[in-house]
Structures are given as C-alpha cells and as structure tokens.
A = this chain, B = another copy of it.
Amino acid sequence: MLTKEQTLTEQTLAKFFVPQGVAVIGASKDPAKVGNAVVKNLLASNYGGNIYPVNPKEEEIFGLKCYPNVKDIPPKTKDGDGDNVELAVIAIPAAFVLKALEDCAQRGIRYTIVITAGFKEIGPQGMELEKKLTAFCREQKIRLLGPNCVGLIHTHTPINASFSRGIPHKGNIAFISQSGAILLSILDWSQMAGIGFSHFVSLGNKADLQETDFLEYAAWDPATKVILCYLEDITFGQKFLEVATRVSAHKPIVVLKSGSSPSGARAASSHTGALAGTDNAYDAAFRKSAVLRAHNMGELFDIAAAFAHQPLPVGDKIAIVTNSGGPGILATDRIEKTGLRMAGFTTETKKQLRSHLPKEASIYNPVDILGDAGADRYYFTLEKVLQDPQVEAVIALFCPTALSDPAEISRAIVDVQQKAPQKPLLTVLMGGKEIQAGKDVLLEAGIPSYTFPENAVTALEGMVRYAKNKNRLMQRKTVQPGEVKITAAKKGDMQLPEKQLYNTTQVKASFYDALMERRVVLSEHEGIETLNAFNIPTAKTFLAKDPQEAAEKAELAGFPVVLKVASPQILHKSDIGGVVPNLNNPEEVKKHFREIMQRVQHFYPNAPLFGITVQKMMPPGMEIIIGSSEDVQFGPLLVFGLGGIYVNLFEDVSMRLAANLHEQDVEEMIKETKAYNLIKGFRGSNPLDLQALKNAILNTAQLVTNFPEIKEMDINPLLVYEKGVCAVDVKITLSHRLLNNTFSPREQAVHQENLAAELTERSV
C-alpha cells in the first residue's frame, strides 16, 4: 500500500487516519457536549477499531466501557491481549488539556487531536497555554492536530474523529481546512451536491501539525487524487514551498487562500492570530510550487470535481458538443476569455460529422447537433471529436428538450468516455429536475457535470494550468552560481567585474562598511560595486574627492558624465542641485564639482560626505526595473517590469520568488509583462538583448538569495540595448536585523552554507 515517495512523516500521520484504537478524552453522555458527538460519530462511521471513552464520572457511554483516565486503558500484552490505543481525541476544557497530553504520553499514545478551543485565538493567555502544549509535544514526540479544531474524517478507513454532523460521501478529494466552520459547511453542502471526499482535516490553530504535514499525507494517501486547501495563512513558507513542489509533481493541490485584500488580511489576523503574508508573495509561492489558486469557493469545488475523475489534458485545445446554440456560444466565450483555445477539427472529423449529422447541424466547433439529438447522435459526435488528434479536451453540453432523454444521453456519454478514457470529458446539463436523472448517471460514472457552461470551462482551465505547471516542474534545469555570463552594452562604457564568478568578498566588504557606520542604506557607489560583484553590468562609476580627481575620473569613465553628491544623509540629491548631468569636458566637471560642494555646504553643512560620484552617462535605452523585496514567509520576492516613471503608473510588473529561480522562470516572468513587447521589437524596432536581461535578473536573484540580509533593492533603470544591458541607478537597503545582529536561524544557515562553499572554492 505504501508508495516509494513515502517518508517518515507520511507513515506516521497515517496513524491519525487508520489508528488501531481511539480514546475520546472528555467523552460524555450529554448530547450538548462535543465529547458526546465524537463518540457518536466514531460509532456511526463504522470505524473498525476499538473506541475508549474516557470520563471519570461515567461507567459506560453508548454501551462502551468508560475509563476514568486514558492511563487506565489496559495495555496490550505480549500475547496480544488487551488493547492498542494509537489516537486520542481530546475535548475537555483548555486548562486540563496539558494534563491529558501527559496522560497520553504515559499511556504511549503519540497521536492526538485537540478539539478544545480557548488557546491562541483568545489572546496572550491562550497563546501561553498553547506554547506549553507545543513544547510538551516536541519534547515527548507527540503529534498534535489543533487545538481549536473540528477533528478529522477518513471515508475509506472509515473513521469520523470529529464533531461533524454526518460524514461526507466517499470519494477521492482531500480537503484540508484552516476554518472549522468552512469545513462543516462544505461537508453539509457536498452531501447535497454529490461530491465525494477521501478525507477532511480541520487544522485549527496549527500548534504542532501544519498544512504541509497533511499535504504530505494526502500525497501518500492512496485514496486521494486531488488535494483542496482552505488556508488563511501559511506558517512556514520555505517548508511549504519545498513540500508543495514535491507533492504537486504527483497530485494537484488547489488552494483557496483568504485574506488576500488589505481588510481581508486584517480580518484574518483578528481571527486566527496569524500573521498573513503579502498576497503577491503567496501568488509567487503558489506559482513556484505548481499549486493552483482558486479565487472563490465555487471555483475550488468546480476544479476539484474535474480532477477527481478525469485525466489531465495534454494541451489547451477544447471541443464543444451541444444540442443548442446559446450555451455553446457561452462556453466558447468563456474558453477564449480564460486563454484556452477552441480546437479546429481535422478534415476527416469534419467529413465524418458532415456525412452523419443532419444538414442543419453545425459541424464546426462548437458542434451543434440540434435540439432533437438523442443518445446515438451524442455518442457518434463525441466519439469522432474525442478521436480527433487536434482535440485535447471536450465539453458536452445538454439542454432539456421535449425529444431527448437525459439519462439515456448521459449513458451514451459514459460509454463513449470508457472507449476513449485518455482525454478529459466534462459535461454541462442545464436545468433542474428534467435533467436530474442524467446528472445522476454521470455522477455515478465519475464524469463531472455542471449546471452552467462557465463552470465547466473554469474547471478545465484549472486542469490545463496544472498540467502545464507540472510539466514545467519536471523540465526545469538548475542554473549554477557563476554559470550566468554577462553581456556588456558596449564594453568601453561599462564597469565589468574582473572574473566571472560571483565576488562575495566585495559584497561583504561593502555591507561591513555600512554596518560600521550603522547605516542600512548602501551608498550609490557601494550599490554599484555590489552589482558588479554579481556580474550585473553597470555604468562606469567612480568616487572623487576633489575637482581634479573628478576631472581625471571623468576622463577614465568617458564623456559625457554626470556628477552626483555622495552622502549617506542626502537622499533627495536633485532637490538641492546635487546632480548635474551632461558634462562634456574636464573643465565643466571641475566647475560643477565646486558648485555642488557649495550647495551641499549650504543645505547640509554637517552631513558626512564621501565625495562626488562621477558616472559615465549611458546612451538612451529601454528602461527596466529589477527589484527585490524581502517576504517574511517566502524569502526575497523578485520584481521585474517597465522602469522609469512607468513602474508606478502601469505597475506592468511580474513577480517571482528569488530562491531557485530558473532561466525558464525568468523568461516567463519577462513574457508576462507588456514590457516584453518592447524587448522583442515593437512596431518595427529591433529586438533588444533578452539574454543579457535574463542574466541580469538571474544574477540579482543569486545576489538576494546569497544575501538574505538585503531587505529591498531596486535597479531602476536598468537600460536594455540591442546588445547588452547596463544598470544606471541602484538602491540597496539592508535589514535592520543586520544592525541589531538579530538574524533568523534561516539567515544564519544561509550565511554558513555560503561561507562553506566559498572556503571550499578558495582552498582549491
């Protein structure tokens, strides 16, 4: 039963879903108590193991012997007598939960579900209590689901270790929910909607077990084909990325992540006490790990129904077969809006359809087989369309008409898919009781049926997107540090690093200088040096202390040059006339050096002054921004887009997590923006240097990955030319944690890893 992908976590969590015996601490005869509902549910679910109610005040509950303490349940003897207890469900007041866990530890129970509320969600006092639970579990190697949760259900074991009303239909969808209320609502709704589940998990406060643990379990669980999550936050971003990427390669994960708007995030925070990450970082994280993000509840389940029983499409070319025009047009509209494509048919398919369908039928996609179409016509048409090599998925639409029998048509649809099971086939049966018999036939056979065309298309779009993402995960090629080569715009203009490997020593020295001065903002010169150290071409930039030196450096840089005052305290240089562009000879340089200094003396008499930066002025090029911003959950988030003032106006940007960024990701990232149209040559102009741009982005990703202490950086503009790129301006801000020396364990680990790699290299 176990697959080779199985890990220790997956094995151990299986005990939650297939335990040999379950103790219910807080079992009760009072129907108003949760402990009553849990015992009743365990019994009603036909759970095959032993159930042990624990309650010092009762002798028996629902005919089961009741124990005063979990420790009193007799242990299994060597001969196999006595009882195994592998799981404890705890539903007693918060104050007594820790004691109950201690009892469990003594009884050798390592798997616990704490339903009890009154922990983190009620404030600091509850938080303290919860921390004690977590610490105790870590120490005793006890795994804990909750607290403040509904419990869990597995329909195949079967087991219902929750206080739900009823159990979902058996199926192959796993649902992991951070909200107990949503889990219970969906359970209730799904029974009516006829959706089946493998298991339900209510995460609660996530004191110990997280969404990642249950993702791993669901990935392993042979009964599960698709994994749904309702999440309000993700506790460990890096772990989520690692686990979700691994799981996505095997089974689709569809996530509804709430709190995506500012007010929503506020509500999430007051609800679970969790700190919600920024929504853009979540988007980037889901994309990176091939997780599908649903935009609402309806979409979550529309997509799930398709994954549950249908094969993945190999492409995005969709055919529609309908018995009436209107719904066919609605489906077509939606297909084109979601970026899917209407399949064109082969000559052979068209010939077949033309010769067998009535002459009023439309044999082009959408195929309209008319209102009098019966089961035979549906069968014939679907068979031909599914056989067409240019068709990659099919939607069959059906509106009730006087002359059609929905159940018979549905049986034809089921038959035709059994003959051609390799392409996804979804159905839309528009109507109510007239088509119910047809819906029942499809449900039974595992063919998703939707009421309106748009829902079927949404589901198919989700499948297509997942299939693409999965392929991308498979095909990725890792780029090694130093492998990315630079492309200079025109060598003479630019400052290029001496060697092609990353020069971390230079970066550290710059950061050290800032550190010594208790600055978090790097000077322009330090920024430029940092870029150079990571093979990002920059305009030639020098620092000069006096007019004569400035004139000499200007000759070195090449005219024209720009002068900029260099002082950590003068941020808005232009406002005080601290920037003078377009200087064409040494005399102009000397003159303006003096004038800038006078203005600085006037406005900032006490500002520390490095001198004046002398920079070669680059010819005009396309202005791009490459930026990075630290996300607390997922690490540095990279931003690419149109630079200059258009950054803020159009927000024509795309984002990716910097960690393990692949060249293919970078290419997609560029192509997502409208800036790409300019890069590839817009309205007759020559294409710009895409490869040099990609390298600059990859090198930036490497920089912020190697130095997670970079809080924010903006290269704006990076000029992109027909040949090469050139950074003209850069701002780098370091984390305050650097000043206070309060690094996170992750940052320390990254630093140590990098250092080890460097030392190895040096020793060669």
Contacts and interface: CB of A to CB of B under 8 A. Distances in A.
Interface stretch (A385-393, A418-426, A432-440): A432-440
A46 interface: no
B185 A400 contact: yes
- Chain A interface secondary structure, helix, strand, loop or mixed? helix
A366 B40 CA distance: 34
B179 A271 contact: no
A330 B401 contact: no
A366 B185 contact: no
A194 B236 CA distance: 45
Given A325-B181, A432-B190, A452 B267 contact: no
B648 A650 contact: no
Contact of A430 (B189, B270, B332, B362): B189
Interface in A330-358: 330, 332-337, 342
Interface in A36-67: 37
A329 B267 contact: yes
A645 interface: yes
A200 to B, nearest CB: 14
Contacts of A182: 324, 326-327, 399, 430
Interface in A498-524: none
Contacts of A417: none
Contacts of A268: 325, 329
A29 to B, nearest CB: 16
A318 to B, nearest CB: 11
Contact of A652 (B178, B324, B430, B650): B650
A32 B372 CA distance: 12
Contacts of A431: 184-185, 188-189
A151 interface: no
B259 A329 contact: yes
A326 B232 contact: yes
A272 interface: yes
Interface string A186-208: 10111111000000000000000
A746 interface: no
Chain multiplicity (copies)? 2
A733 interface: no
A706 interface: no
A214 interface: no
A336 B400 contact: no
Nearest to A433: B192
Between A452, A453, A648, the greatest number of chain B beta carbons within 10 A of the residue's beta carbon is seen for A452
A452 B186 CA distance: 10
A403 B262 CA distance: 32
A123 to B, nearest CB: 9
A61 to B, nearest CB: 18
A432 B650 contact: no
A324 B399 contact: no
A141 interface: no
Interface stretch (A96-104, A477-485, A536-544, A677-685): A677-685
Contact of A328 (B267, B362, B401, B435): B267
Contact of A452 (B34, B296, B432): B296
A756 interface: no
A178 B326 CA distance: 8
A360 interface: yes
Contact of A267 (B177, B264, B332, B649): B332
A271 B368 contact: yes
Given A185-B399, A399-B185, A330 B297 contact: yes
A192 to B, nearest CB: 3
A263 interface: yes
A364 interface: yes
A402 interface: yes
Contacts of A296: 330, 334, 452-454
Interface string A159-193: 00001010000000000011111101110111111
Contacts of A258: 326, 329-330, 333
Contacts of A179: 324-327
A188 B267 contact: no
A260 interface: yes
Interface of A: 32, 34, 37, 121-122, 163, 165, 177-182, 184-186, 188-193, 230, 232, 256, 258-264, 267-268, 270-272, 295-298, 323-330, 332-337, 342, 360, 362, 364, 366, 368, 371, 399-403, 430-435, 451-455, 645, 648-650, 652, 674, 677-678, 682-683
14 contacts: A179-B327, A180-B324, A181-B323, A181-B327, A181-B401, A232-B326, A258-B326, A258-B333, A260-B333, A261-B332, A271-B328, A298-B452, A298-B454, A645-B682
Given A32-B402, A179-B327, A645-B683, 12 more contacts: A122-B360, A163-B402, A181-B323, A181-B326, A181-B371, A182-B399, A190-B432, A232-B326, A259-B329, A260-B333, A262-B336, A271-B329
